[in-house]
Structure 1
Amino acid sequence: MFEILAKRFVKDYKSTDKQRVRLKLISLSGLVGVLINIFLFLIKISIGIIASSSAVMGDAFNNMSDALTSLITLVGAKASSKPADINHPYGHGRSEYIASFLVSILIMFVGFLLFTSSIDSFYKGNLPKLSKLSIIILVISLGFKFYIYFLNKNLDKKLDSKLNYAVMIDARNDILSTISIIFAVIIQKYISFNLDALLGIILSIIVFKPGLDLFIDTIDKLLGKGISEDLHKKIEEIILSGDFVHGYHDLKIHEYGRGKLVGSCDVEVPSNISVGIMHQAVTNIELRLLNELNISITIHMDPTYCLIENEENKKIIEKLRKSVKNANRDIENR
C-alpha cells in the first residue's frame, strides 16, 4: 500500500539517495502512521466504552500517543526539508534530530508509566479481565501494528532515518505489549500469581531501553559528535593526495542533518609557489571531498616548506596553471 502512495505522491520515489525524496518518504510514512493510529483509537475507544473494558480503552489511548509520535515524525521531516536562510545558513536538517529527541522522551515516558502501573498492579493483585470481543479487537489491531513496524523498518534501512527507527521501535513496543496482554489473559487462569503485572515489568524495560538508546544517540548528534574513523580516513586520503600537500591539521567536520556535512581544515603547502597555483590545488581537494563524500569544506593554506624544483613538479605546476587560466576565463565569460 505504501509503495502505491509513494508512487502517487512522491516524484522519483525510488531515488532514495536524493534528500528531497528521502524527506518526502519520511513525511508520507508519518502521515500513514497518524491515520492508522487515529483509526485504531476511534474503533477501540468506541468499543471500549460500549464493553466497559478498561484494557481496550487503555490500548486506545496508547494508539493516540502513537499518532502523536507519527505526527512528530511528519513535522520533523517537514521542518528538515526547509532550505537554508539568513538565520540558518546550513539549513534545517537538525530538525529531524530534534523530532527524534522528542520521540525518545515519549518512548521512555511510556516505559516508565508501564513500569509503575505494573508494580502497582502486582502488589494490589489486580488480574486482567478481557471479554472475547476485546481480545478479538486486540488481535486485529496487531495486524495494523505489524504493518507500521515493517513499513518503518524497511524505510529505516533505505533512508537511514532516526525518525522511522523511532516509530518502528514504538510499534514494536505496542506489539509486545498487546501480545503480553492476550497471553496473560489466556494463561492467568492456570496460575496463582499476577502474570500480567510481571510481564508488564519486563516489557517496561524492553520499551524503555531503546528509547534511552535513541535519546543518547540523538543527543550526541545535536551536541556535534565527531565523525567515524572510517570517514576520517577517507577524508585524510583525499587531502593528502592533493598536489604539494605534505600534511594537514585542525580538521573539523560538523553534521547539519543526515548527509549535510560542513567542515574546515589547514593543509601544509610550499611557501615558494604562487598563491594562484596553490589555490587551484586546494580547490581540487575541496571539489573531490564534495563530489565523493558530499562534504562542503573550506581549506586554509599553511606555508610550511620549500618545494624542490624538478621536472615532475614543473609538470604539476604547469597543469595547475592551465586550470587557473581556464577558471579565470570562465569568470570573464559570465
Structure 2
Amino acid sequence: MIRFLIKRFVQDYENVSDPEVRAAYGMLSGTLGLINNFVLFALKLTVGLVINSIAVISDAFNNLSDFCTSLIQIFGVKMSCKPPDKNHPQGHGRSEYIASLAVAFVIFSVGTRLFGSSFEKMIRPEQPTVNVTVLVLLSVSVFVKIWMFSYNRSIGERIDSEINKAAAQDSISDAAATFVVVLGTFIGTFTTFPIDGILGLVISFLVMYTGFKIARDSASLLLGRSLSDDAVQKIRKIALSSEVITGVHDLIVHDYGPGKTYASMHAEVSQLSDIVEAHDQVDRIEQKIYKELGVKITIHMDPMESAKPEGKEE
C-alpha cells in the first residue's frame, strides 16, 4: 500500500537526492502518522475509559504523543529542506536532527507520566471490564502500528531520514506495548492480581527507553558523528587506487544533514609528479567518492620527497 501512496503523492519519487522529493516523502509519512495516531488515540481512550483500564488509557496517550511527534516530523522535514541562505550557507539539514531530538523528549515525558499513573493504579487496583470486541479493536491497533513501522523504516532507509527511522522505532515499540496490553487485559479477567497497573509500568518503561534511544542517536548526529569505519576504509581505498597518491591522512568529516556530508583529506603525492596530471586524478577521485559514498570531499595534495609504504599513511 505504501508503494501506491508514494507513486500517487510523491512526484519523481526515485530522485531521493532532490530536496523537494525528500520533503514530499516526509509530508506523506507525517500525514499518515497524524491520521493513524489520532484514530488510535481516540479508539484506545474510548476503550480504556469504557473498561476502566489504566494500561489501555496509557497506551492511548502514548499514541497522542505520537500524534505530536508527527507534527514535529512535518515541521522538521519542511525546515531541513529549506535552501541555504546567508546565515546558513550549508542549508538547514540539521533541523531534522533537532526535530528527532524534540520527538525523543516528547516520548520520554509521556513515559514518565504514564509511570506515575500506572504506579498509582498498581497500589489502588481496579478490575477492568473486558469483552471480545475490546480485544479485537486493540489487536487491530497492533497491526496498524506494525504497518506504520514498515513504511517509516522503508522511507527512512530510502531517503536516509533520521526522523523516519526514529518514528519506525517508536511504532514497533508501540506495537509491542499494545500487544502486551491485549494479553494482560485478557489475563486480568481471570485474576485479582494488579496486572493492569503492572502492564502500565512496563509500557511506561518501554516508552521512556524508546525516547532515550532516539535522543542518544539524534544527539550523536548533532554533535558530529564520524563516518563508519567501513566508509573511511572505502575512501582510503578509492584514493589509493590512484597512481599518483601514495598515502592519505587528516580525514575530517562534517555532517550538515541527510545528503549533505562534506569532508576534507590530505593526499600525499610525489614532488616529481606532473602537477596538472596529479590535480586531474585528484579531481576524479573526489568525483568517485561522491558518486559511491555521497560524500562531497575536498582533497589537498601534499608533495612528498619520497613515497611512504602503503599502510603507514596515517
Do they superpose with TM above 0.5? yes
Match of 1:188 in 2: 188
Contact preservation (8 Å) 2:251, 2:266: yes
Q: CA deviation at 1:247?
A: 1.6
The reply on whether 1:149 has 2:149 as its aligned counterpart is yes
1:145 aligned partner, one-letter code = K
Consecutive unaligned residues in structure 2, runs of 5 or more: 308-314
> Could you tell me how far apart the structure 1 residues matched to 2:24 and 2:197 are?
41
Contact preservation (8 Å) 1:44, 1:60: yes
2:296 aligned partner, one-letter code = S
CA offsets per residue over residues 175-208 of structure 1, 9 Å max, x none? 3333333333322232232111222223333333
Contact preservation (8 Å) 1:177, 1:200: no
Q: CA deviation at 1:278?
A: 3.5
Q: For residues 121-200 of structure 1, what are the structure 2 equivalents within 5 Å?
A: 121-129=121-129, 137-200=137-200
Stretch deviating more after TM superposition (127-136 or 250-259): 127-136
Match of 1:300 in 2: 300
CA offsets per residue over residues 20-44 of structure 1, 9 Å max, x none? 4344212211111112323444566
The reply on whether 1:118 has 2:118 as its aligned counterpart is yes
Contact preservation (8 Å) 2:52, 2:128: no
Stretch deviating more after TM superposition (126-135 or 113-122): 126-135
2:95 aligned partner, one-letter code = S
Given the superposition, is the C-alpha separation of residues 205 and 59 from structure 1 closer, same or farther in structure 2, using an over 3 Å criterion?
closer
> Could you tell me how far apart the structure 2 residues matched to 1:7 and 1:254 are?
33
Contact preservation (8 Å) 1:135, 1:182: yes
Contact preservation (8 Å) 2:17, 2:259: no
Q: Which has the higher contact order (CA 8 A, sep 6+)?
A: 2
> Could you tell me how far apart the structure 1 residues matched to 2:170 and 2:117 are?
19
Q: Which has the larger radius of gyration?
A: 1
Count of residues paired in the alignment: 306
Match of 2:310 in 1: none
CA RMSD for the aligned pairs?
3.0
> Could you tell me how far apart the structure 2 residues matched to 1:296 and 1:41 are?
44
Consecutive unaligned residues in structure 1, runs of 5 or more: 308-334
Match of 2:234 in 1: 234
> Could you tell me how far apart the structure 2 residues matched to 1:291 and 1:2 are?
28
Q: CA deviation at 1:58?
A: 5.4
Match of 1:28 in 2: 28
User: In structure 1, the residue corresponding to 2:245 is in which secondary structure?
Assistant: coil
Match of 1:261 in 2: 261
2:194 aligned partner, one-letter code = N
User: In structure 1, the residue corresponding to 2:304 is in which secondary structure?
Assistant: strand
Given the superposition, is the C-alpha separation of residues 128 and 170 from structure 1 closer, same or farther in structure 2, using an over 3 Å criterion?
farther
